[in-house]
Structure 1
Amino acid sequence: MELGFLKPLFDRPGPWASVYIDTTRGTEDAPAQQRLRERAVANRLIDEGADAYTTRALMLTLAEEPVSGTPPGRALFAAGAEVVLDIPLVRAPLVGEAAWSTLPHTSPLVGLVDALPPCVIAYIDRTGADLEIRDSLRRVPVGRAEGREWRSHRSVPEDRYEWHYRNKTENIWQENAELIAAELTRRRPEIGAEALVLVGDARERRAVYAQLPEPMRAMTVEAERGNRSSAHDDQLERRITEVRTEQARGRLESALERFRVGRGRPGDHRSGPSGAVDTGPGGAAEGVPALVDAARSHQVETMLMAEAASDAARDVWIGPGPDQIAVQRSEAHAMGVARPERARADDALMRSAAGADANVLLVPQGMRGPSGGLGAVLRWSF
């Protein structure tokens, strides 16, 4: 999960109201249930000390929610009588949550927002391709590649002209495939997706695939259903979800492999079947004290957070800056923080990770992750 979208929360002081709410409307009494949930949120915030203006801003935002097209859940963050972020969730929170705290309570987002990496879809035909970027909630057109189309204005006899006709058509198909591949290669850095799905007839897909550079072929898959003019196709949608899920699983497995190697004993260099980079001993941090040290030096590359992490709610001490974080209050004072404040470890570390352009991955139950539920792969080792 990339954290750049959370930076507006860390550019201004708190305290913060953080709300996670189920917004599904699958029953006849859903509107009434929704009003009850919203009232419970308001009461909880007021009980925790939230000011009336910030609470009112949240309630007005929730009341404006459309009846149709609603995501299954929402996360809202407000401070100073203003809702700063309103984030759609891909799954509803199991239990509604409302908190009033020094830092925004962002850690639940790791399991509720779309954590699958976005992918690029290229809808191909003989004349070009339409490109879109896809995640779980959006499909956004990002351009197109237009090639040539050769049309004959006469029937093609079965004589010497037939060879010329076919050869001309093959050449144009090849040129168009090269043009599509060149456009995909050119756009890759700005789009930033980790997977490319080629959609169209088999011959056209393979012609484009053959023209891609080798690094892009490694991230490319072909879908047998759909074409440039097709509408919604359930099988294609399932295939796109499978591709994004496989990419996410590979990213997590690679990070966990690097974490396990990095926390090993000196001289214990291992590499797993996934081919993960060996960071070497010291290339990982495990537990809150080690993570705090790494966060202060902007050393965290990927933070790992297990479901129901036991260390998540542990207290740390923070200052105004994302790298001002300490395990002990006296330690924060020594860093120059005049008035250290308590915060949850997971939220403080999320702030530090966002400030260092790191990302966070959720380790699901059943996978062996860091002890205490919090760990990190580091950018460099000591």
Structure 2
Amino acid sequence: MRLKDLADQIGHSGQFASIYFDSSHDTADAARQIELRWRAVVDQLEGAGLAQQTLTALDNAVTENPPSQGRAGRALVAAGSTVLIDEQLPEPPPGRIARVSPLPYLLPLIEHDAQQVPHVVAVIDRTGADLRAVGQHGMNQESVQGTEHHVHKVRGGGWSHWSIQNRVEEKSRQNVEEVAREVSRLVDDVDAQVLVLAGEVQARKALYDAIAPRAREIAVEASTGNRAEGGDAEAFEHEVRRILDEHVEKQRQASFDRFHAELNRDNGLAAQGLNETLSALNAANVEYLLVNPQVLADRTLCSGAQPTPLATAEQPLRAAGEETVHTVRADEALPIAALATGAKVVTSDEALPDGVGVLLRHT
């Protein structure tokens, strides 16, 4: 179950457990260390009064599934006897989180999702390419191999040399065109935001010229990566990750640049502070919810049976006809309200009054 689906189903009849912990399996005693870390989580959940059926469901999920490989984290959200979310994280969380509350805590998963950029990687030479496409539904790897006859130029002179050279160039062109068609298809299939091009310089340039305009717009060339055996695969993966991280940060910064520009414009499509944010969320008028988790901290809000409306006190909700009002954490309620109303959530350590701001859909 993904986050929007979960937000759509939320009511306040029960309790949610939200867990983020270090599930690294990178030492000789890793199994024992994971067991100890999980026992600490269970103790914390029991101390917070989590129902036994939920504890049992979580314990089964953690102990029965295979462990992570290397450094990793684990994110789990459960309610009743059902584990709603169980995901591996590429890095351990900064600290252990184990919450029991009327709402799930989704901000760490939202931050994780923001780092998962749909992308395609193409490592090319004159004979073909190794391709990797990563989208919302996982990763697909394949190899496109051109015909190997006459792929190497030969030394010599005269007409014979020209003839073979010409055939080599034509075969290389055909190989590049074949790869370009597959790369362009993958870009569309995963709705890629970034295309990383690597490999032989001339083949890489030829591929860039041959791919579809949509793919060319998102292409970034890598300085490492090749198809030959013995290449530094780790260095290449680090460069791919750097390229993707730069894309994520550029997107995040673009959201905040737009936010500040709208704040400084008369009747601009932006607001900041808790009260203004609540008004916009309650009116389903939020395109982006901007959150600084450290500033928002432990603030609480009042909520009825659905993700919205939200208020800073009970009285407005009672006056609106809410029979049951709950006290909820703002860092849980605000992201869920945003997701439930179709807004995107962006986290940052940038200064915001009360830790929140919004980009509006309309004035």
TM-score, normalised by the number of residues in structure 2: 0.84
1:239 CA displacement:
1.2
What residue in structure 1 maps to residue 129 of structure 2?
129
SS of 1:99's partner is strand
Q: For 2:279 and 2:189, how far apart are their aligned partners in 1? A: 33
Question: Is 1:317 matched up with 2:302?
Answer: yes
Q: Go from structure 1 to structure 2 and tell me whether the alpha carbon gap of 1:176 and 1:256 turns closer, same or farther (over 3 Å shift).
A: same
> Would you say how many aligned residue pairs link Structure 1 and Structure 2?
356
Structure 1 segments (4+ residues) deviating >6 Å:
none
Mapped contact 1:116–1:247 kept (Cα < 8 A): no
Match of 2:285 among 295, 299, 303: 299
What residue in structure 2 maps to residue 276 of structure 1?
none
Amino acid paired to 1:242: R
Instruction: State the Cα deviation string for residues 54-113 of structure 1 (Å, max 9, x = none).
Output: 111112222235456154321211111121111222332333222111111112334566
Instruction: State the Cα deviation string for residues 210-267 of structure 1 (Å, max 9, x = none).
Output: 223555334212223323465761221121122112111211221111111111252x
What residue in structure 2 maps to residue 226 of structure 1?
225
Q: For 2:128 and 2:343, how far apart are their aligned partners in 1? A: 37
Amino acid paired to 1:244: L
SS of 2:179's partner is helix
Q: For 1:24 and 1:156, how far apart are their aligned partners in 2? A: 54
Runs of at least 5 residues in structure 2 that lack an aligned partner in the other structure: none
Mapped contact 1:287–1:372 kept (Cα < 8 A): yes
What residue in structure 1 maps to residue 181 of structure 2?
182
What residue in structure 2 maps to residue 371 of structure 1?
353
Question: Is 1:208 matched up with 2:190?
Answer: no
Amino acid paired to 2:89: L
Amino acid paired to 1:126: R
SS of 2:338's partner is helix
Amino acid paired to 1:341: H
1:312-351 to 2 correspondences below 5 Å: 312-333=297-318, 335=320, 337-351=322-336
Mapped contact 1:262–1:284 kept (Cα < 8 A): yes
Amino acid paired to 1:363: S
Q: Go from structure 1 to structure 2 and tell me whether the alpha carbon gap of 1:163 and 1:319 turns closer, same or farther (over 3 Å shift).
A: farther
The two structures, once aligned, show a CA RMSD in angstroms of 3.1
Mapped contact 2:119–2:190 kept (Cα < 8 A): no
Q: For 1:143 and 1:324, how far apart are their aligned partners in 2? A: 48
1:140 CA displacement:
2.0
Mapped contact 1:324–1:337 kept (Cα < 8 A): no
Q: Go from structure 1 to structure 2 and tell me whether the alpha carbon gap of 1:114 and 1:49 turns closer, same or farther (over 3 Å shift).
A: same
Q: Name the structure with the higher helix share.
A: 2
Q: Go from structure 1 to structure 2 and tell me whether the alpha carbon gap of 1:41 and 1:182 turns closer, same or farther (over 3 Å shift).
A: same
1:91-102 to 2 correspondences below 5 Å: 91-102=91-102
Q: For 1:181 and 1:322, how far apart are their aligned partners in 2? A: 46
TM-score, normalised by the number of residues in structure 1: 0.80
Mapped contact 2:150–2:167 kept (Cα < 8 A): no
Instruction: State the Cα deviation string for residues 300-339 of structure 1 (Å, max 9, x = none).
Output: 3332222412x34322233444444344434334555442
Runs of at least 5 residues in structure 1 that lack an aligned partner in the other structure: 267-280
Q: Go from structure 1 to structure 2 and tell me whether the alpha carbon gap of 1:143 and 1:349 turns closer, same or farther (over 3 Å shift).
A: farther
Mapped contact 1:118–1:244 kept (Cα < 8 A): no
Q: Go from structure 1 to structure 2 and tell me whether the alpha carbon gap of 1:328 and 1:218 turns closer, same or farther (over 3 Å shift).
A: same
Question: Is 1:7 matched up with 2:4?
Answer: yes
1:373 CA displacement:
1.8
Question: Is 1:237 matched up with 2:237?
Answer: yes
1:129 CA displacement:
2.9
1:38-53 to 2 correspondences below 5 Å: 38-53=38-53
Moved more, 163-172 or 239-248: 163-172
Q: Go from structure 1 to structure 2 and tell me whether the alpha carbon gap of 1:128 and 1:23 turns closer, same or farther (over 3 Å shift).
A: same
Amino acid paired to 2:168: T
SS of 1:308's partner is helix
1:8 CA displacement:
4.2
Q: For 1:147 and 1:329, how far apart are their aligned partners in 2? A: 68
Q: Go from structure 1 to structure 2 and tell me whether the alpha carbon gap of 1:22 and 1:339 turns closer, same or farther (over 3 Å shift).
A: same
Instruction: State the Cα deviation string for residues 38-69 of structure 1 (Å, max 9, x = none).
Output: 33322322332211111111122222354561
What residue in structure 2 maps to residue 359 of structure 1?
344
What residue in structure 2 maps to residue 104 of structure 1?
104
What residue in structure 1 maps to residue 140 of structure 2?
141
Mapped contact 2:118–2:192 kept (Cα < 8 A): yes
1:241-280 to 2 correspondences below 5 Å: 241-266=241-266
SS of 2:59's partner is helix
Amino acid paired to 1:370: L
